[in-house]
Each structure stands twice: as structure tokens, then as C-alpha cells.
Amino acid sequence: MPVKIGTRGSALALAQASRVCEGLNRAGIETETVIIKTIGDEQTNVPLHEIGGQGVFVRALDEAILAGEIDAAVHSMKDIPAERPGGVVTAAVLRRDSPADFLVHYADLEDVRIIGTSSTRRKAQLHRSSLDAEIRPLRGNVDTRLRKLKDGEYDAIVLAEAGMERLGLDLPGTRLLPQWFVPSPNQGTIAVVCRRDPDLEQAVGTLDDAATRQDTGVERAVMEEVGGGCFTPQGVYCENGFLLAEVLALDGSRWERIEDEGKTPDDGRVIGRKLRALAYDLIEEARAELGVKQ
């Protein structure tokens, strides 16, 4: 009987699921892809923090696993929230692709006046940069975002470079260096979650990359300690045990940043607690401005 792999139905999600299925097939494991709809895909005109944050993309797939409709699910790891339901486990973390953001623009960079993104982190970091541009909300899948860019609604849009690579897109624009535009925790990483079952976990675990799991584990520890959900403009990036972590004001005018060694999740937890203490006012200001309840 094939392993049922759940995924969202976007082109990017399907490309990621295809990579997982191909890897499992090479290991001699038969697979079947099952598309699951999520509220985040259906309500593209509403900011994420108003419909439950990045976790809305994960919840429907978790529920399908727990209901026995699928055996495992493929996610962009950055979408997986800190709090996880009992009965599911992250069985594989694939080798990380590019963690960077990419500013797609056809005009010269100095002529960019309107940038599309609904990420509070990206918005704050763009405000902090030297770009003199208005940041307007933009959600939807990659095709929708690119169409709005080509239709002239925006002069530039922000995409994850890893997503572009997975879709085979070669687009004009500017790579935003992770050292300054610190990515979301786990950005560029594909994760596979499954129900708690030793045989299933072992099968899916053949795709696991130990180095990526270690770095992303540190990032998640920081994220869990900082808290704040998707409304808090925070970037966390660990590479080979070196950690960059920051929290910004929504308008990018202020920020708190830590650069330190982060080789274990325990290191991440210590750094996360320190960053939360330093950035407490920024987190509370963002919560109040966006009307997010505690």
C-alpha cells in the first residue's frame, strides 16, 4: 500500500511534494499524492495574522493526518507553528535550499516605488533599507503575485528564492542578503510530518538531513522563546552553528539583534529568551498596532 503524502494544491506546494515523493520512491517506498485545501489558500485577501498566521497552511494537513486521510504531509518548514498537536511528528527535514528573500523587479531598482508583501518581517526590513518605496499588502500563490507585478499593480514583489528555484523561475531582480534581511525561521527548508508510527517515521526519515535539522532546530528554539506569532517582525537564521536573530518595529525604525554561536536548541532557547527581553516593547507595540490578542 502506498504512503499517502498530503500537500496544498499550489504549484510550489506540488513541486515540494514531488521532491519528497521522488526521494521516497528512490528509497523503494511507493507514494500517492493527496491535495488538501486550507483556509489560507482560500482567503487570499485577508492578512495572515487575521486568520491564524502561517499555521493556517498546516492545520488542515495535520487534521487530515490525525483523521487517517493521509499518512504524511509536506510543508515549507517556516509555515509550521511552534505548537504542534499530539500524534504528529516532523520525521524528515530535507537539505536546506536558499534561505534568502528575492526582490523581483523589471524596472531599475532606483525606480521601484511600490513593493508588494504581506509579511510583517519583510515589510519592516524593507522600511529599514535604503529603498524609498511604499509597501503594500500582497498575498496569493506565486503565479498570482507575478501576474499582479506584470499588470503594474506593484513595481516589485518579494518572493522566497528557494521557491523560485523549486519552480524553475529565472526572474530579474535583487537578492536580499540574509545577513541584513534575516529570513524567517526555517525559510528555504522542506519538512515532512507524519503520524506517530515507528515504521512510517523510519521510512520518511530516510530523507532527513542532519545538518539542516540541527540549524533549523536552533532557529525554532529561538522562535518559540521569542513568541509573538507571525505578526512579530522577526528574522532567525542559523548556518553551521552561527546564529543571527532580530526583532524589528513594524515600521523598521528600531530593532534588536543578536549574533552569537547557536549549535544546539539549548543555545537557541537562551538566545531567544535574551532577545525577547531586549525586544519586549517592540513585540507588544506590534501586537497592539495589529490588534492581536494575547
Q: Annotated catalytic sites, by residue?
A: 79
Contact between 20 and 192 (Cβ < 8 Å): yes
Nearest Cα residue to 182 out of 252, 134, 85: 252
Find how far residue 232's CA is from the centre of its chain.
14
Contacts (Cβ under 8 Å, ≥6 apart) of 173 = 102, 103, 104, 105, 156
| Helix locations, 151-264, DSSP H | 161-166, 198-204, 210-226
Contacts (Cβ under 8 Å, ≥6 apart) of 19 = 94, 166, 190
Q: Grid cell 507571525 — which residue?
A: 230
